[in-house]
Amino acid sequence: MTLIKPKDYRNLLGSVEQTEKAIKHLKDMFQENLSAQLALLRVTAPMVVLQGTGINDDLNSVERAVSFPIRDMDDRRAEVVHSLAKWKRLKLAELGTGPGRGIYTDMNALRPDEELDNIHSIYVDQWDWEKVIVPEERNIAFLKRTVRRIYESIKVTENKLYVEFPQLRPQLPEEIFFIHSQQLLDMYPGLSPKERENEIVREHKAVFVIGIGHALSDGTPHDGRAADYDDWSTPDDEGYYGLNGDILLWNPVLESAFEVSSMGIRVDAPALERQLALRGEEWKKDLYFHRRLLAGELPCTIGGGIGQSRLCMFLLRKAHIGEIQSSIWPERMRSECLEAGIELV
């Protein structure tokens, strides 16, 4: 358990009640802005999927899913979702959604293997979104345009919050800065990935790190990604790998880089084949989702997740995600937070 306790921290909104009002206001505004920017329709999403279909997301390929038997289905096992990256793609195929339009959901997940700290909880809530694109849009330029639209949604929400809550002064820069994870390694070869992120985000305040999942020149990836949703292996014109990345903002409360979104252009059939081979997971080709993708039955898409509690935590200047969402925390963490003026809900 790691806990950052900012010196002289206080709740800028004054009370838990005012915080709850601000959370509701923020969420309503942001999802309206996001759906308008990306042409997204809200859809209802599952909290559980059947085990063995390949629909649940493996995230970094090591996390365990919460699972249980279903009595009326001969004890066939179901899993609580980690996220909905692959489910959304199936849903778009089912809806027959055309290029330029997409969907978003209120996704709720359980991730029991998370290391609990200021920004990580076993309960995850996010706006999970997915948009149909044409094959010609599977490139870095389109990825950057989409990132800029999402960033604009965050900025508009920050400015509107300031009107309602003047103590929450806007701090995001006008533009988001783009850098590839290999460039970041070249700049800071002696630092860990998280330390590199802190350096670049401290300087630019809002950064999109491209290329998460493929091995860099030191033989290791910047961070883990499963092989079957983001395309992290397609090279760009400069020879850098990956059509995905993370949106990072400088958090002045925690004084560190702060991830609010992971996203990317999704694998097509060649990228899926390549990435499964790189990870030694060719056996997944026989799973339901993967069979449909390899058969050309699913649309080309771009998508990602934007943390609801994370974004609220950032824009409302909170020190702990437990000030936004109700979850389970170690008793020692609860007592230390209380001593530091951090009120967990």
Model confidence at 337: pLDDT above 80: yes
Contact 79, 286 (CB under 8 A): no
The confidence band for 82, taking pLDDT boundaries of 50, 70 and 90, is confident
Q: Which of 3, 58, 115, 34 has its CA nearest to residue 308?
A: 34
Strand 123-132 and strand 301-307: the pairing is antiparallel
Residue-wise DSSP of 1-15? ------TT---TT-S
Nearest to 33, CA basis, from 164, 125, 151 = 151
Q: How would you class 125 by CB atoms within 10 Å of its CB: exposed for 0-12, middle for 13-18, buried for 19 or more?
A: buried
Pairing of strands 76-80, 206-210: unpaired
- Its pTM surpasses 0.75: yes
Residue 6 domain-assigned (yes or no): no
Read off the pLDDT of residues 318-329 as tens digits, 9 standing for 90 and up.
Answer: 999 999 999 999
| Within a domain: 144 | yes
**Contact yes or no for 244/212 (Cβ under 8 A):** yes
At residue 125, does pLDDT exceed 60?
yes
Element counts in the chain: helices (H) and strands (E): 9, 11
Matching residue, tokens 């990317």: 264
pLDDT above 60 for 60: no
Distance CA 207, CA 249 (A): 6
Task: Give domain status of residue 8, yes or no.
Answer: no
Place of tokens 């838990």: 16
What's the pLDDT at 279? 94
pLDDT(1) > 70: no
Q: What is the pLDDT of residue 58?
A: 64
CATH of the domain at 214: 3.30.930.10
**How far apart (Å, rounded) are the C-alpha atoms in residues 118 and 97?**
38
Other CB atoms within 10 Å distance of the CB of residue 252? 13
Residue range(s) defining the domain that contains residue 193: 17-339
Q: Worst-scoring range by mean pLDDT, 57-61, 77-81, 155-159, 235-239?
A: 57-61
**243 — pLDDT class (breaks 50, 70, 90):** very high
Query: Residue 54: which H helix or E strand, with range?
Result: none
* pLDDT recorded at residue 56: 82
Question: What percentage of the chain reaches a pLDDT higher than 70?
Answer: 98
Question: Dihedral, CA atoms, 198, 138, 47, 226, nearest 10 degrees?
Answer: -60
| In-domain check, residue 235 | yes
* Mean pLDDT score of the chain: 94
Let me know if residue 247 belongs to a domain.
yes
**DSSP per residue, 265-276:** EBP-HHHHHHHH
CB 201 within 8 A of CB 173: no
- Judge whether residue 61 has pLDDT over 70: no
Q: What would the mean pLDDT of 248-277 be, rounded to a whole number?
A: 97
In this prediction, residue 57 has a pLDDT band, given cuts at 50, 70 and 90, of confident
pLDDT over 90 at 134, yes or no: yes
The residue count for the chain: 345
Share of the chain above pLDDT 90, in %: 87
Measured in degrees and rounded to the nearest 5, phi and psi for residue 82 equal: -90, -45
CA–CA gap between residue 27 and residue 315 (Å, rounded): 11
Quick: pLDDT tens for 271-320: 999 999 999 999 999 999 999 999 999 999 999 999 999 999 999 999 99
Name the nearest CA neighbour of 60 among 25, 88, 85: 85
Query: Into how many domains does the chain fold?
Result: 1
For 274-291, give the DSSP string. HHHHHHT-GGGGGSHHHH
With CA atoms as reference, report the closest residue to 43 among 114, 123, 110, 129. 129
Taking alpha carbons only, the member of 315, 322, 314, 313 closest to residue 342 is 322
Whether residue 7 is contained in a domain is answered as: no
Q: How confident is the model at residue 114 (pLDDT cuts 50, 70, 90)?
A: confident
pLDDT at 2 over 90: no
Structural domain includes residue 5: no
Task: Say if 1 falls within a structural domain.
Answer: no
Bridge partners, 102 (sequence order)? 40, 131
Given pLDDT bands bounded at 50, 70 and 90, which one contains residue 59? Answer: low
Active-site residues, by number, are 57, 111, 126, 246, 259, 262
Task: With CA atoms as reference, report the closest residue to 28 among 336, 340, 308, 328.
Answer: 308
3-class secondary-structure state, position 236: coil
Across residues 139-151, what is the average pLDDT? 98
